[in-house]
Amino acid sequence: SAVEFGLDAPYEVEYHDSIDSTNRRGRELAGDGREDIVVLADEQTGGRGRLKREWSSPSGGIWLSLLLRPTMPTTHAPLVTMAAAVATAEAVASTGVEPEIKWPNDVLVDGKKVSGILTEMEGEADRISWLVVGIGINANVDIESLPEDRATSLRELCGDVDRREVVQTLLESMSELVADRDRILSAWRARSGTLGRRVSVETPNGEIVGEAVDVESPGALLVDTADGRERVTVGDCEHLRP
């Protein structure tokens, strides 16, 4: 079930039929001094989400990590993650389904997660040394092999897709956005399902409920609450019914 390669991608691609985690391999390549390389796998045996959560990665999915060395302060890393969410949404949209981005970087279809993103990074305050952005897309996988609630797959939504085309679209979009960072937030806004919605955000300082009104560089969510405007930089966001 290996993906057919010969990708005409803007990055070098290292392909694995099976690997523990493409992010783990991306970090290893960073240690070897590499950059602008994509690690891609058909299956991950130890896929990881944020906060040490697990990421189900059965054969047939799109599991990839992009190793970059962008010239920017570490505080701007969320912008790269948002670019990845936009690129992923464009790739999903290219299959004919309608995705929306949930702040900061989940890609949903019909309220269910079709993709997740995990960014890892090293650097000094004023300069990123390396950044690995890991993207998982539930492509040609059965939903029975995913966590029960609120996950979906392209197979479920529209039938099996050509993963090579989806990855190609994703990487082209990503390289354009990374080269032109001023476009990232506006592209994110255009694909966002969060803005204009009532949201509840679990932050380290408690829950914030209100209307999400905008995002601000390098990725903060502005929420209008009963007590005024809050600027949220980290948290888990839920879309509430109007």
User: Can you give the binding site for ligand BT5, defined by CB under 6 A?
Assistant: 21-23, 44, 47-51, 53, 55-57, 63-65, 113, 116-118, 134-136, 138, 146-147, 151
Q: Which is closer to ligand BT5, CB of 152 or CB of 175?
A: 152
Nearer to ligand BT5, 22 or 175 (CB): 22
CB closer to ligand BT5 out of 135 and 166: 135
- For residues 58 and 125, the answer to whether their CB atoms sit within 8 Å is no
Contact 114, 154 (CB under 8 A): yes
Q: Please give the DSSP secondary-structure letter assigned to residue 92.
A: H
In this structure, the number of other CB atoms found within 10 A of the CB of residue 5 comes to 11
Question: What residue is closest to ligand BT5 based on CB?
Answer: 116
Q: How far is CA 60 from the centre of its chain?
A: 18
- Whole-angstrom distance, CA of residue 67 vs CA of residue 26: 6
CB of residue 84 to ligand BT5, shortest distance in Å: 10
**CB-nearer residue toward ligand BT5: 23 or 140:** 23
| Least spacing, CB of residue 135 vs ligand BT5, in Å | 6
Write down the least CB distance from residue 28 to ligand BT5, Å. 12
CA atoms of 218 and 199, how far apart (whole Å): 20
Q: How far is the CB of 101 from ligand BT5 (least distance, A)?
A: 12
Query: Do 32 and 92 touch, CB atoms closer than 8 A?
Result: no
Q: How far, CA to CA in Å, does 1 sit from each of 18, 41, 89, 141? A: 11, 11, 24, 12
The smaller minimum CB distance to ligand BT5, of residues 195 and 237, is found at 237
Compute the distance between CA of residue 194 and CA of residue 103 in angstroms, rounded to an integer.
6
Q: Token pair 């040490």 is at which residue?
A: 52
**DSSP at 37:** E
Nearer to ligand BT5, 58 or 126 (CB): 58
Q: In angstroms, give the least distance from the CB of 32 to ligand BT5.
A: 18
The nearest distance, CB 109 to ligand BT5, in angstroms, is: 11
Give, in order, the Cα–Cα distances in Å from 34 to each of 29, 52, 135. Answer: 6, 25, 19
